[in-house]
Amino acid sequence: MQGVPDQPRLVAGEILPAQTVARAAAPAAEALSPATTPSFSGFGAGDRRRAKAGPLLFWSTVLLATFLVFWVAGGHRLVLDPLAETMRNSPAQALQIEDVRSRIERHDGRAFLVVDGVARNHGGDPLELPSIVISVAESNGPTLRYHLGTNQAVLAPGQAHDFSSRLDAPSNGVASVSITFQEGSR
């Protein structure tokens, strides 16, 4: 430190030999119960704990750095690509409904809702085509559901299955049409 002379500092206190301290501490230790006796770990006890934590901290850091290098160098591809492939080939992702068209046609004074579409297998394995559910929401009314059977047709990878349905049009008009696969059948 600057401006401080190199002189020893005086501290007020009394210096006692170690034997006197041990004799004076013995009666006080007997008065305390074992549950409340404070532990004295002596000089260097904290250093030992720190010495044990040092290698653990070092090797934890080395393992973390090794994992991060693996991940950044391409390990993420080894882990995530098979997972993505599994998700793409799952029936929920592989079977998709495409090119849906709906229109109202009139024949002999009656209105019909005609729904056309395609179910396609985008997966890598043949899949059984589940029943198709056509949900028709009426304007200011309930939602009607119609089930369109597919005879459990099996679609090869890339194969498509055209479907068409002609339904009685709701008298209140059609608000929306949605098409899904029947739950639990995939």
The CA distance from 71 to 102, in Å, is 48
Q: Helix, strand, coil % (nearest 5) of the chain?
A: 35, 30, 35
pLDDT in tens, 58-96: 999 999 999 999 888 888 887 787 777 666 555 557 788
161 SS3 class: strand
- Other C-beta atoms lying within 10 Å of the C-beta of residue 165: 17
Topology (CATH level 3) of domain 91-181 = Immunoglobulin-like (2.60.40)
pLDDT in tens, 114-157: 999 998 888 778 888 888 898 888 888 888 888 888 888 888 88
Task: Enter the tokens of residue 51.
Answer: 């010495």
| AA letter at 74 | G
Highest mean pLDDT out of 30-34, 59-63, 177-181: 59-63
**DSSP state at residue 38:** P
What per-residue string of b and e applies to 125-158 under the rule 16 or more CB within 10 Å gives b? eebebbebbbebebeeeeeeeeebebeeeebeee
